[in-house]
Amino acid sequence: MIAFMKDLANYIDTLDIPMPLQIELLNTEETVALVSAPGGQTLRKYFDGATDKRLQYDFCIKTKDTVRALKTLETIANALVSLDVLNTEAEAYEFLNITVSNEAFFTEATEDGYYYYQLTIHADLTILKNE
């Protein structure tokens, strides 16, 4: 859900992480990306057409500094664990909560010296019916 991703990216930007945050794509340089992932599920449907969903997202990092990558993902995870309210201007959803599904983990290294790390979260949202 793009509205949620934009709102979450805006929140993460307030944490002053040391790399730029992108939505969906890693840059050619050192970057953090918020990426939608498979595995979402419907938790409940309401008579008014709204739906509670649990959606999965990954924070992916491309960097040459592994310590900075792990510290950045730790900062993000710690902030999300205590997140109770997410400011939004969208009227497409209501934020319920976020669960950090795992600790940051290494995914790959490339020949050009970049390392990739990932952190997976689940976001519980009420998706409101579009009129």
> Mind listing the pLDDT tens digit for each residue in 21-48?
999 988 888 999 999 999 899 999 999 9
For 43, the token pair is 């938790």
- Does 1 have pLDDT greater than 60? yes
* Average pLDDT for the chain: 93
Contact of 58 with 120, CB cutoff 8 Å: yes
Q: Is 33 helix (H, G, I), strand (E, B) or coil?
A: strand
Nearest to 82 by CA among 98, 95, 71: 98
Q: Is 107 helix (H, G, I), strand (E, B) or coil?
A: strand
The CA-atom distances, in angstroms, between 15 and each of 12, 19, 78, 100 are 5, 11, 11, 17
pLDDT of residue 131: 53
CATH classification of the domain holding 106:
3.30.2000.10
Residue 65 belongs to domain spanning: 2-127
- How many domains does the structure of the chain reveal? 1
Interatomic CA distance for residues 36 and 104, integer angstroms = 16
The percent of residues above 70 in pLDDT, for the chain, comes to: 99
Q: What average pLDDT does this structure show over 9-31?
A: 91
Q: What average pLDDT does this structure show over 51-55?
A: 96
Q: What average pLDDT does this structure show over 43-60?
A: 95
- Does 91 have pLDDT greater than 80? yes
Provide the CB-side half-sphere exposure for 33 (13 A, CA). 17
Q: What average pLDDT does this structure show over 91-95?
A: 92
